[in-house]
Amino acid sequence: MEQHGSGQELTQAEVASWTAGWDEIQERLGPRFARSEQRQRVRHYVDGLLSPVERKNGWQLAEHAGAARPYGMQRLLAGAKGDADAVRDELRAYVLEHLGDPRAVLVIDETGFVKQGTKSVGVKRQYSGTAGRIGNCQIGVFLTYAAPEGHVLIDRELSLPREWADDAERRQEAGVPEAVTFATKPELARRMLERAIAAGVPAASRDGRQHLRGRPTAARLARTAGAPLCPGGQA
């Protein structure tokens, strides 16, 4: 067996270990969802995201899971009762068990998600580094744990532009919780750093990329949160 594109051969034992590891993650995340049907569907959903399926929409993911209709996948995303923050915390704990290292770096970056419509939360015409231009998109700010043995996303925040935050009707239609208010991207980054530090995430430094790089606010947020900067004080 050969790993696609790498030229490195994989053994059956390695593949089996990946399957066992995925089973372990599912067992840990399962209790974060209220019903057994949801837990099973979450597994099918993530399996689909990790699969070679070209388009990751409800129909395609449902078909990959062997379902005749996409309604189950759509219900999972639109109305399933689960604790997303608890899932994040469980994932972070799992990552630290396997990759935790005091030499690691906390990397902050933003990513744009190009959209066609106006209903997705936070969507507007704005610059997207992903697209390399101004366009209709959402912006997410992410925290990656980059350790010598690997790197994994451990936190996320969706940017809610001020025009969204101040539009009560639009918020209600999209289901934006009242507690979610406008925050700058450096503020979102600071929240994630503070959560990581509070959870005892071991790291030697942190790094900020994209629009966070070079902003005085981004440099200050690391000091405010108590996280060390990369060599040279880059933000």
Is there a domain that residue 233 lies in? no
- DSSP of 47-113: HHHHS--SS-SHHHHHHHTT-SSSHHHHHHHHH--B-HHHHHHHHHHHHHHHH--TT-EEEEEEEEE
Is residue 214's pLDDT more than 70? no
What value does the mean pLDDT of the chain take?
Answer: 84
Is there a domain that residue 5 lies in? no
Given pLDDT bands bounded at 50, 70 and 90, which one contains residue 98? very high
DSSP collapsed to 3 states, 132-175: CEEEEEEEEEEEEEEECCEEEEEEEEECCCHHHHCCHHHHHHHC
Mean pLDDT confidence for 54-81: 88
Answer yes or no: do 102 and 198 share one domain.
yes
Is there a domain that residue 2 lies in? no
Least confident stretch, 64-73, 75-84, 126-135: 75-84
CB-CB contact of 219 with 233 (8 Å): yes
Answer yes or no: do 136 and 24 share one domain.
no
pLDDT tens digits along 73-93: 998 888 777 788 999 999 999
Is there a domain that residue 127 lies in? yes
Is there a domain that residue 7 lies in? no
Is there a domain that residue 235 lies in? no
Answer yes or no: do 90 and 75 share one domain.
no
Is there a domain that residue 44 lies in? yes
Residue of 194, 193, 233, 235 lying closest to 216 (CA atoms): 235
Is residue 119's pLDDT more than 50? yes
Mean pLDDT confidence for 47-75: 90
Residue 150: its pLDDT value, please? Answer: 94
* Dihedral pair phi/psi, residue 141, rounded to 5°: -110, 135
Residue 206: its pLDDT value, please? Answer: 65
User: What's the token pair of residue 17?
Assistant: 């270990």
Is residue 114's pLDDT more than 50? yes
Answer yes or no: do 39 and 96 share one domain.
no
Is residue 172's pLDDT more than 90? yes
Quick one: angle between helices 36-50 and 71-79, nearest 10?
Answer: 110
Answer yes or no: do 31 and 72 share one domain.
yes
The secondary structure of residue 31, as a DSSP letter, is G
Measured distance between the N- and C-terminal CA atoms of the chain, rounded to whole angstroms: 43
Is there a domain that residue 34 lies in? yes
Q: Tell me the longest C-alpha to C-alpha distance in the chain.
A: 55
Given pLDDT bands bounded at 50, 70 and 90, which one contains residue 208? low
Answer yes or no: do 101 and 181 share one domain.
yes
Helix (H, G, I), strand (E, B) or coil at 198: helix
Answer yes or no: do 110 and 219 share one domain.
yes
Q: How far apart are CA 30 and CA 43, in angstroms?
A: 9
Range of the domain at 124: 84-225
Total domains in the fold of the chain: 2
Is residue 140's pLDDT more than 90? yes
Least confident stretch, 3-7, 57-61, 173-177, 201-205: 3-7
